[in-house]
Structure 1
Amino acid sequence: MRPFTSHPLAALRTAMLSAVALAASMLLPGVPAGAQQAPMAMSPDGWIDLQRPEAWRRYRADSLPRNWVFDAESGVLTRAGLAGDIVTRVAFCDFELALEWRLERGGNSGVFYRATENPRIIWHHAPEMQVLDNAAHNDGRNTLTSAGALYAVYAAARDATRPVGEWNRARIIARGDSVEHWLNDVLVVAYRVGSEDYRARVAASKFREWPEFGLAPCGLLGLQDHGDRVQYRGLRVRPFAR
């Protein structure tokens, strides 16, 4: 991280981006009272640190489940037992999300984005970047459900995962209707939200029952509890002003 600068333009930019993220949160329907307000520490270059327990809560609840465990010494977040999906306390519209993930053999998880809380189940509406051990999980046999894919809608261009037990770097970049999934510095998915191609793929997928799937312009970031042990570290997000 660059040394802190008190340059007035840098301070103004940081304040504007913080306001964008907070305003997006306040527009979300169905969010529990008090769950949206949280202090956001933004670095001078625009990144918000999400590797802290106060940044997260359970989906459609106010608190972080105890089986999502933050280790202060290692800086690792672990899904250590039955816990439920978790989401950020602040919503984002246009952003770059960066993180690393690690699974055990056969493990499965996912990263949600632009999630609202009207549905009782997060995956009914929120896009998911698949987190998976491709080598040992059945979903790894299909590129539509393999690591890095927009789960069940856009296939991963190739298997860019590292061997199980190693850390994988992931990024999601969303600007307006343009979304990219990066896995270990490889662009594995790129699509346009709401395009004719997008709508056709959703209509042909398991999400056809929810025609508004993935169409929210702003929403929460989320981590999936799929029943397996998964670890995350380096969680941070950089919002872009519209």
Structure 2
Amino acid sequence: MKRYLLSACILLAVIQISQAQKGFKPLFDGKTTTGWHTYNKTTVGSAWQVQDGALHLDLATKGTDGGGDLITDKEYGDFHLKYNWKVAPKANSGLIFYINEAPKYSATYSTGLEMQVLDNDGHPDGKITKHRAGDLYDLIKSSSEPVKPVGEWNSAEIISKKGNLTLILNGVTVVKTTLWNDNWKTLIAGSKFATWKDWGTFKTGKIALQDHGDEVWYKNILIKEL
């Protein structure tokens, strides 16, 4: 009887996981960099290695083509994104979204919003308000900091629907705001992006994993278009 109960519990757990992921599609297949490229290029920098089912910015393999921000081939409008990340000590990275990829923009962050990925205690940005893990970078500070210790995997979610943006870190909602309205313009006016033409204005765009020159890992990257 115990064996049957255990089997039933395992089956129920599998069903629940399947239902939770219904409608989500992988942005990363766990084996290759298919569907991704370096910003404003057609290839992927050699520093981005697929290791143990994760995308690893491996500085030891950073050749002449470097790494660069890894960006999706496809653009997204309303979406629900899920992913896992971890950083090495003193590392900085970020998940950047609503990016306009065009030669006139020098980087993903020239137009895109960022959910910060950071070693809060080891990186200098950890001392700056609105630059810590889970923050909507330089705009909104997280309502709490449920981040895991350095070297452990964090789960994150970004939900953007009809201008309503929610950031979730390790199951906790840490940021909620509305995009593109007057309050949004006020937030931008009070940030480092105040004079950056077109920043935070695009309602569709690509998604990027940032190369900030530090070691970082991403895996289980899933998206549902809303």
Q: CA deviation at 1:205?
A: 1.1
Tell me the residue number matched to 2:54. Answer: 76
Match of residue 200, structure 2, among 214, 228, 235: 214
Q: CA deviation at 1:70?
A: 1.0
Tell me the residue number matched to 1:202. Answer: 188
Q: Aligned with 1:198: secondary structure?
A: helix
Q: Structure 2: which amino acid aligns with 1:138?
A: P
Q: Superposition pairs for residues 120-199 of structure 1, below 5 Å?
A: 120-199=106-185
Tell me the residue number matched to 2:224. Answer: 238
Q: Aligned with 1:189: secondary structure?
A: strand
Q: Structure 1: which amino acid aligns with 2:76?
A: F
**1:148-200 deviations in Å (ceiling 9; x for gaps):** 11110111112111111100100000102111111001111111111222111
Cα distance in 2 between the residues matched to 1:149 and 1:203: 17
Q: Aligned with 2:97: secondary structure?
A: strand
Q: Aligned with 2:186: secondary structure?
A: helix
Tell me the residue number matched to 1:224. Answer: 210
Cα distance in 2 between the residues matched to 1:212 and 1:181: 22
Q: Structure 1: which amino acid aligns with 2:48?
A: W
5+ residue gaps, structure 1, are: 3-43
Q: Structure 1: which amino acid aligns with 2:45?
A: P
**TM-score using structure 2 length:** 0.83
Contact 1:127 1:150 in 2 (8 A): yes
Cα distance in 2 between the residues matched to 1:66 and 1:140: 28
Cα distance in 1 between the residues matched to 2:189 and 2:91: 28
**1:77-99 deviations in Å (ceiling 9; x for gaps):** 10012411010011110111100
Contact 1:107 1:137 in 2 (8 A): yes
Q: Aligned with 1:46: secondary structure?
A: coil
1:66 aligns with 2:52: no
> Which of structures 1 and 2 has the bigger CA Rg?
2
Q: Structure 2: which amino acid aligns with 1:196?
A: D
Q: CA deviation at 1:143?
A: 3.6
1:56 aligns with 2:36: yes
Contact 1:147 1:159 in 2 (8 A): yes
Q: How many pairs are equivalent?
A: 199
1:90 aligns with 2:78: no
* Percent of aligned pairs sharing the same letter: 31
Cα distance in 1 between the residues matched to 2:110 and 2:84: 25
**TM-score using structure 1 length:** 0.78
Tell me the residue number matched to 1:111. Answer: 95
Q: Aligned with 2:45: secondary structure?
A: coil
Cα distance in 1 between the residues matched to 2:217 and 2:187: 30
Q: CA deviation at 1:211?
A: 4.4
Cα distance in 1 between the residues matched to 2:194 and 2:78: 25
Q: Aligned with 1:208: secondary structure?
A: coil
Q: Aligned with 1:188: secondary structure?
A: strand
1:47 aligns with 2:47: no
Q: CA deviation at 1:141?
A: 2.5
